[in-house]
Structures are given as C-alpha cells and as structure tokens.
C-alpha cells in the first residue's frame, strides 16, 4: 500500500543488511575495502550536491530529493536505527497547532 511504502522499503533494506545478496544496497552496506558507513556517507554527499544543483536549475528536484532520503534511510539502517524510532523522533518535535 502507498502509505506504507517507506516502511516497506525500510524493511527490505534491513533484510539486505542482515541477509546480504548481490544487490546495490547490500553491496553499499557491506564492510569490505571501505566500510559500509564510508560508502553510504560518500553517496549522501553526492546526492546532497545533486539535490542542490537540481533545485538551483529547477530540474528533477523530486527525484534527487528522494535519492537523498533513500540514502539517508540506508545510513540509518546501517546504524541499526529502527523505522519506528524515526517516527518517534518526528513525533517528539511536533508542536501543538
Ligand atoms: N528506492 C530505491 C532506490 N532509489 C535509488 N536507488 C539507487 O541509488 C542509486 C542512485 O545513485 P545515482 O543517483 O548516483 O545514480 P547512478 O549514476 O546510477 O549511481 P551509481 O549506481 O553508479 O552509484 C542508483 O543506482 C539507484 O538505482 C535505489 N535502489 C533501491 N531502492 C529500493 O531499495 C530496495 C532494495 O534495493 P536492491 O538492493 O537493489 O535490491 C529496492 O527494492 C527499492 O525499493
């Protein structure tokens, strides 16, 4: 379902971390020549730069923003943070309207 897509993708990433296969996300999270953390942080740097350029050019902003969100999720999965903790963190910050 559309409203669960973020949680669904998050669960797939946890599976890719815990039961690695030959795939983009498993390979990024794998600690080999570089640590998974370093590989993911490099991607986050690239994706952040791509989003800045997209925004300034008014081109592909949505796609580049989702790329950055996706790789941020990947870092959080790598760090062992649960999806519910993200929701809890947003809830804590919610101000009464
Ligand atoms: N949502 C995504 C997703 N968004 C972006 N990407 C990948 O992130 C990369 C973005 O990098 P770039 O923008 O730099 O594009 P690129 O030029 O292809 O870069 P490189 O791949 O060469 O680094 C691309 O390779 C995309 O394929 C994603 N890869 C996977 N997912 C989800 O993660 C799940 C697990 O993915 P796998 O590990 O591939 O099974 C999938 O089922 C999807 O739901």
CA distance 53 to 60: 9
Give the pLDDT confidence of 31-68 residue by residue, as tens digits: 999 999 999 999 999 999 999 999 999 999 999 999 99
Binned at pLDDT 50, 70 and 90, residue 87 comes out as very high
Domain 2-93 superfamily per CATH: MazG-like (1.10.287.1080)
For ligand 1, say whether the CB of 12 is within 6 Å of any of its atoms. yes
The H-or-E segment that residue 1 falls in is none
For ligand 1, say whether the CB of 17 is within 6 Å of any of its atoms. no
Our mutation pick for probing the ligand 1 site, out of 7, 9, 14, 25, counting the most ligand atoms within 8 A of Cβ, is 25
Angle at CA of residue 4, ends 77 and 7, nearest 5° = 10
Contact (Cβ atoms closer than 8 angstroms) between residue 73 and residue 10? yes
CA distance 19 to 16: 5
ipTM of the complex: 0.91
Distance 58 CA to ligand 1 centre (A): 22
Short-list 52, 54, 27, 58, CA closest to 40: 27
Rg (CA), the chain: 15
Q: What is the pLDDT of residue 1?
A: 64
For ligand 1, say whether the CB of 70 is within 6 Å of any of its atoms. yes
């Amino acid at each position: 379902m559309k409203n669960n897509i973020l949680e669904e993708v998050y669960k797939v990433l946890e599976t890719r971390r815990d039961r690695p296969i030959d795939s983009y996300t498993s390979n990024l999270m794998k600690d080999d020549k570089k640590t998974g953390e370093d590989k993911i942080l490099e991607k986050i740097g690239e994706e952040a730069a791509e989003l800045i350029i997209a925004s300034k050019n008014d081109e592909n902003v949505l796609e580049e923003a989702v790329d950055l969100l996706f790789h941020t999720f990947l870092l959080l999965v790598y760090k062992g943070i649960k999806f519910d903790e993200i929701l809890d963190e947003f809830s804590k910050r919610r101000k009464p309207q």
